[in-house]
Structure 1
Amino acid sequence: MTSDWLVSYRPTPSAASLAAATRIVALPHAGAGPTVFRQAAGLLPDDLELLAAELPGHGKRLSEPPHRRSETLIAALLPAVVAAVQGRDWVLFGHSMGAFLAHELCRALRRAGHALPRRLIVSGRRPPNYPAPELDLHKLPDADFVHELTRRYDGIPAVIRNEPELLQLFLPVLKADFEVFETYRFSDEPPLDLPIAIWGGRDDPQTAQMDGWADLAAGPASQRLFDGGHFYLTDRPERFARALAEETTNDRT
């Protein structure tokens, strides 16, 4: 399946298996497109199909203006996800900014009366009700923004940092993504009625701030730690794919 919003790099091999496959909707970190999941998607078993989000301003949608508020982004993403998972067994995964969006998407699905995913997997980000420990980044001048982002996350690849033209193309989208979650204000709602898995890299400072995710879901909570930092999932895609398959299938009926 391929759409403007959701891209599958590895469709399951036959129509019959495609109909039976569990779908994993995966939301990437700030500034990223669906390609961050490309390697891992190709390593999943045949009965799992990963659909990676491609947001406006990212990847092949570079010419579209990026969203700057979570409300408009979730409202636009919601119908694409509903159409992709209608009547299907599915799991939702989000990393960093994607974890924040995954939680908000689940709350929007519930408000609209749609079925929730069988499991929510959040990775590499503090829960949305946890106060930000540092000042907003999206308001900083470009040079300060790059410095702080590199210090906190090692978040801009050197190949982009060292190429001024690439950096100038990349920064507006990245700043818009940070504006999405840095302008968000949490509102109380009942915990989501689903299990939640909390993932993080052992060397990522965000991991120490993730415990509060368990309070946002009424189902069982589990934790999985990986060797590595904030980008553990792309550093070792085979390890990430194996964990994703285990987490997705361990309670499937």
Structure 2
Amino acid sequence: MKTIILGFAGGCVRQVTNIFSDQIVSLSEKQLISIEYPGHPLQMHQPLMTNSTDLIQYLSSTIIQKCKNEDFQIVGYSMGATLIPFISEVLNRLGYKPKKLILLSADTPFLEKLYKIDTKSVLSLLIKSGLPSSIQQNKKARDFFITVMKSDLEILNDLSNRIKNTPLSIGDINTFFISGQDDPNTSRNFIYWKSLYPKAKFRTFPGGHFFAFDPKNNWNDYFSSIL
């Protein structure tokens, strides 16, 4: 079974792939496929997207192309996790049903609060998400990632507006939500996602929004067990 990896806002999917590779590669029947968002570091030849419908369609089409008639599961981190229900809905309509969905630090598209996209706020988010100091000090590189993050926040804002009138459904797909105990939004996120997917499984581990990047964290065994 193939495993699709989707990354977080403002970064490179390889950052997420690296923390999963040991768990996934150790299971020989699974094939890891990382999908970079257009305009991000591994897809710089493509234009950035600011419309959620376009990105969801792009990701859905890419998953179908890469998986074809093979079984697959989708793992997403932060923005990638938030996109999964929308992608899954499109895939289901087209007859491509994922076997499993694993959403790590899935942000709720809060209707009452959109993301700020001014440069100062965006740079602060990038630093929190682990932007290396070498990039922070390089204006060209820093400006590139600021532009990427602004584009991704437009996507999340678009999802916030879209979800008002678009009920989501992932049917009976085996679904897992995993978040950090110290992430200030975890409780509210779980309440929101549980209202949509009462049959999903929910689990927290020590740490904040990027809990999975802490090598001292003991979430690896659980993650391996649900793959």
Give the TM-score of the pair, scaled to structure 1.
0.77
User: Is the aligned partner of 1:54 residue 2:66?
Assistant: no
User: Is the aligned partner of 1:217 residue 2:197?
Assistant: yes
User: Is the aligned partner of 1:105 residue 2:74?
Assistant: no
Structure 1 stretches of 4+ moved >6 Å:
none
Query: Aligned-pair distance for 1:238?
Result: 8.4
- Pairs aligned (count): 218
Distance in 1 (CA, whole Å) between partners of 2:156 and 2:105 is 14
Greater shift after overlay, 172-181 or 37-46? 37-46
Question: Which runs of 5 or more residues in structure 1 are unaligned?
Answer: 1-21, 249-253
Query: Aligned-pair distance for 1:89?
Result: 2.7
Distance in 2 (CA, whole Å) between partners of 1:57 and 1:237 is 33
Q: Report matched runs for 1:83-98 at 5 Å.
A: 83-98=65-80
- The residue that corresponds to 2:100 in the other structure is 119
From 51, 69, 74, the counterpart of 2:56: 74
Query: Aligned-pair distance for 1:209?
Result: 2.0
Preserved contact between residue 199 and residue 225 of structure 1 (Cα < 8 Å): yes
Greater shift after overlay, 91-100 or 32-41? 32-41
SS at match of 1:29: coil
Query: Aligned-pair distance for 1:135?
Result: 4.1
Counterpart residue type for residue 193 of structure 2: W
- Identity in percent: 23
Greater shift after overlay, 64-73 or 41-50? 41-50
Question: Which runs of 5 or more residues in structure 2 are unaligned?
Answer: none
Query: Aligned-pair distance for 1:136?
Result: 2.5
Query: Aligned-pair distance for 1:67?
Result: 0.7
- The residue that corresponds to 2:211 in the other structure is 232
- The residue that corresponds to 1:40 in the other structure is 20
Cα distance change on mapping 1:206 and 1:125 into 2, 3 Å: farther
Preserved contact between residue 60 and residue 90 of structure 2 (Cα < 8 Å): yes
Cα distance change on mapping 1:190 and 1:30 into 2, 3 Å: closer
Cα distance change on mapping 1:35 and 1:189 into 2, 3 Å: closer
- The residue that corresponds to 2:122 in the other structure is 145
Give the TM-score of the pair, scaled to structure 2.
0.84
Query: Aligned-pair distance for 1:173?
Result: 0.7
Greater shift after overlay, 54-63 or 91-100? 54-63
RMSD of Structure 2 on Structure 1 (CA): 2.4
